[in-house]
A and B are shown apart, each in its own frame.
Chain A
């Protein structure tokens, strides 16, 4: 009986629907995080985060120190940007952004002879809530899970809402990625420290770290790190995609559903990535700005897969070179995860705060031709938001904006599960993404 209640407490929690893509994590999950040496030039996009791009506060020709603020936050939903190395600002010009298109970036040329110690900011007083939030904004901390939402903005809770539980997202359900896994293993103390910081700032009573059960070593490390604190708990999660999406994670941990179009606050929960927590800990205890992040460089077409702590703004070509370069069969380069990542068109794109993976994949010249929908309903069973992907895709093809809105197209967060399971190879996610653009364009 005792063992049954223990099982009940420790069983992996999950959600309904979803898919099981091949994980491909074994190549890098055992590799310690390595540091990448400096490169000659960095391009730092002003739009590193969701919200208003940063406003540059240095000009061409100016010398900057490592960790010096080179762009100020432009408004509340914006953060500062810092020089990842000591050097000289060469220009501010449009550069390719990994998320698509060109956007203005600061070009920083490294001075290899300069003092490369990091400029640290003054550490905020413990208990000074507004001061700490401002310090986090000045340190340029954004969510490292992929959306790059400014961390301080996420921690300002609307007056009519409250937060009971802080959930740290260590699910890392995306195929190939092991960056969060390594952070949880190697910096478990910092992750738990970050969780304490977040809990104090949002006034939450409980802190939970959700980790998929395919990372038992990370669960052990985190359990050990938060053993002394009865408010904290590590929750094992089922291995399923998209376990790390906010709605699924909340369902798994608290059993609650986020209302349609609602936010995490509506279920008295706030979610941060484990990497963000570690960065918050660094910013709040050592005053360190966010000038680097851990990136998993992997895929079948990379010579030496690795987890690399890489400075923001490093060209992907240099990062690939550090990892032994590409194999001849490499055809596709994806930044981000295997399911939701962005395909790249150039090796010259720089790393940004948002993306934790660089995947080199083989590919064929043409995609598999699509066949007609056979009404098998697999996409309905895969959709974790309980939408009807096949219908949304049809509506999108027809340009039926009213129909798309009625079918809740905006609830889709483009996880890609529907297209992944479709036996007819229909580009469902692409079509739904197009439908979201159409629906947004004609007003809501």
Chain B
């Protein structure tokens, strides 16, 4: 009986002593955290995509509290959430145009002739190392979907042409696909500026068309049809210098469709319904 009592008393005493140490520790070494930080983190969603330029959502929330960033720099959170954050902090939400990833290539499976059969590892990086996967165009999309794997928002689906379809509603412009593409074909572009150049081949004329049916052959019609100074021809490709002034008219005479006016998603003609349902309900 004695032994049992001793054990109970000893353990109780130990617990009380430890509790006292913890209580004192909390009293004197407590770090005061801004209560808004937790709220901000919840509102931001916690995807840690890095599109804002910060390493993750918490550093971004800290940057918001210190006034280094504006709420609208988060491209993932819904507009209502942004407004709520702005109200919470008592700052202007700021304006930042929504951006999406656009592919600067339209050369799908049926457009580009194959010079050789590629039987290697089915990833874009591997195919790029091995003679660009045997495709006649050395600059275009390799079609193995490294970008689809890299996308953390399920915003990229490969269509039957083996071109990546960026679902505009799901894309947060985090830039992961830009880094993943070995051919460097992705660019982040403002949604309200639909002019998109869908080719990266510097080849011109007959050689360009021989390598891909939808290549830019540098005819320069888009540059002529656009308001002066909006599109420049450089190195066999058009460059949109002032995208805000571009008009849909400059895409009309393109003989190959290498310059396009994209409102929603590129190449979205046959994306699996399941994928569309996921985002459009």
Which A residues fall within an 8 A CB radius of B?
Answer: 94, 96, 100-102, 342-346, 365-367, 399, 427, 430-431, 433-434, 437-438, 441
Q: How far is A434 from B123 in the complex, measured between Cα atoms in Å?
A: 9
Q: Could you tell me if B129 and A100 are in contact, using CB atoms closer than 8 angstroms?
A: yes
Q: How far is A96 from B123 in the complex, measured between Cα atoms in Å?
A: 22
Complex partner residue of B131 from A100, A366, A367, A399, CB under 8 angstroms: A100
6 contacts between A and B (CB under 8 A): A100-B132, A101-B131, A345-B116, A430-B121, A434-B126, A437-B129
Question: Does B82 lie at the interface of the complex (its beta carbon under 8 Å from any beta carbon of A)?
Answer: no
| Chain A neighbourhood of B131, CB < 8 A | 100-101, 342-345
Give the dominant DSSP class at A's interface. Answer: mixed
Decide: A434 near B130, CB < 8 A? Known: A94-B203, A101-B138, A365-B117: no
Q: Could you tell me if B125 and A343 are in contact, using CB atoms closer than 8 angstroms?
A: no
Question: Does B42 lie at the interface of the complex (its beta carbon under 8 Å from any beta carbon of A)?
Answer: no
Q: A343-B130, A345-B132 are in contact. List 12 more A-B contacts (CB 8 A).
A: A101-B132, A102-B138, A102-B139, A343-B116, A345-B116, A367-B119, A427-B121, A430-B130, A431-B121, A437-B129, A437-B182, A438-B125
B108-122 at interface with A (beta carbon < 8 Å):
115-117, 119-121
A393 closest partner in B (C-beta): B121
| Chain A neighbourhood of B115, CB < 8 A | 345-346
Which B residues fall within an 8 A CB radius of A?
Answer: 115-117, 119-121, 123, 125-126, 129-132, 134, 138-139, 149, 179, 182, 202-203
Give the dominant DSSP class at B's interface. Answer: loop
Q: Tell me how far the C-beta of B50 lies from the nearest C-beta in chain A, rounded to whole angstroms.
A: 13
Q: How far is A337 from B137 in the complex, measured between Cα atoms in Å?
A: 26
Q: How far is A374 from B262 in the complex, measured between Cα atoms in Å?
A: 49
A331 closest partner in B (C-beta): B117
Q: Could you tell me if A433 and B179 are in contact, using CB atoms closer than 8 angstroms?
A: no
Decide: A434 near B117, CB < 8 A? Known: A94-B203, A101-B138, A345-B134: no
Q: Could you tell me if B125 and A437 are in contact, using CB atoms closer than 8 angstroms?
A: yes
Closest 9 CB pairs of A and B: A345-B115, A345-B116, A367-B119, A101-B138, A430-B121, A102-B138, A434-B126, A345-B131, A434-B125
Q: Tell me how far the C-beta of B260 lies from the nearest C-beta in chain A, rounded to whole angstroms.
A: 24
Q: Tell me how far the C-beta of A416 lies from the nearest C-beta in chain B, rounded to whole angstroms.
A: 13
Q: How far is A369 from B139 in the complex, measured between Cα atoms in Å?
A: 29
Q: How far is A367 from B122 in the complex, measured between Cα atoms in Å?
A: 12
